[in-house]
């Protein structure tokens, strides 16, 4: 009689895990292994004998245009700042020039007024002796002096006045016998005159006055026609 335990002494099958379905077996056999998280390749991760390659991150999209734009903005800001500084310098120069011109104008006006005052003071100092002489002549006439003394005193005053005017550059002129000159003479009448060429001054009603080449008052004359 055979022992039942010996029938399987040749080796009974070992217990196995529950049988997987056919689809799961196919997935386990044919599906690729799950990918590990992405990391930059290195010599440690690469299999031995595989060619070494390093993957470097390329330029991010849009980074270079952004840098160029920022550089352009900085350049524009620097140009604007330089122009603003130049504008401030020009404004300061204009203000300083205006102030200098105003000071020059005031100084010129002040110097002109002082020069005029000095001229008037010089003329008065020259005329004062003639005024004193006229006062003495009038006092002599009031005291009952004769007519000759009065005439002499008036002639003295006239001579002193003319001399005072000459000392300050003023000249009294009488153009009798000279050709008529409209720049220095003023004709009050024109009439025929025996022995005189037409256009010649034959009589002077009022002497002219000039300072250098400037005519202060033209001579009033009669011209031969």
Share of the chain above pLDDT 70, in %: 69
Average pLDDT, stretch 142-153? 73
pLDDT confidence bin for 123, thresholds 50/70/90? confident
Q: Where are the domains of the chain?
A: 169-225
CB contact at 8 A, 205 and 181:
no
The CATH number of 169-225, from 2.40.50.100, 2.30.22.10, 3.40.630.10, 1.20.1070.10, is 2.30.22.10
CB contact at 8 A, 173 and 213:
no
* 72-to-39, 55, 91, 94 alpha-carbon distances in Å: 37, 32, 28, 33
pLDDT confidence bin for 89, thresholds 50/70/90? confident
CB contact at 8 A, 224 and 198:
yes
Indicate the helix (H) or strand (E) that contains 210: strand 208-211
Gap between the Cα atoms of 59 and 222, Å rounded: 108
The whole-chain average pLDDT of the chain stands at: 75
Q: Is the pLDDT of residue 51 over 80?
A: no
Q: What pLDDT score was predicted for residue 174?
A: 92
Q: What pLDDT score was predicted for residue 193?
A: 86
Angle at 209 between CA 177 and CA 134, to 5 degrees: 110
């Amino acid at each position: 009689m055979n022992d039942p335990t010996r029938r399987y002494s040749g080796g009974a099958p070992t217990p196995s895990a529950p049988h997987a379905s056919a689809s799961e077996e196919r997935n386990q056999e044919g599906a690729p292994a799950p990918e590990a998280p992405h990391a930059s390749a290195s010599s440690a991760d690469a299999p031995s004998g595989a060619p070494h390659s390093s993957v470097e991150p390329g330029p991010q999209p849009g980074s270079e245009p952004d840098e160029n734009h920022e550089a352009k903005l900085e350049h524009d800001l620097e140009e604007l700042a330089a122009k603003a500084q130049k504008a401030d310098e020009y404004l300061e120069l204009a203000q300083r020039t205006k102030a200098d011109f105003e000071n020059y104008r005031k100084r010129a006006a002040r110097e002109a007024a002082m020069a005029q005052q000095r001229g008037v003071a010089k003329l008065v100092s020259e005329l004062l002796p003639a005024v004193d002489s006229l006062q003495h002549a009038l006092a002599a006439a009031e005291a009952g002096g004769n007519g000759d003394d009065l005439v002499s005193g008036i002639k003295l005053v006239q001579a002193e006045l003319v001399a005072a005017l000459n000392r300050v550059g003023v000249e009294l002129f009488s153009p009798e016998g000279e050709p008529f000159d409209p720049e220095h003479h003023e004709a009050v009448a024109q009439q025929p005159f025996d022995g005189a060429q037409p256009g010649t001054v034959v009589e002077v009603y009022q002497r002219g006055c000039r300072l250098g080449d400037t005519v202060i008052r033209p001579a009033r004359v009669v011209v031969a026609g």
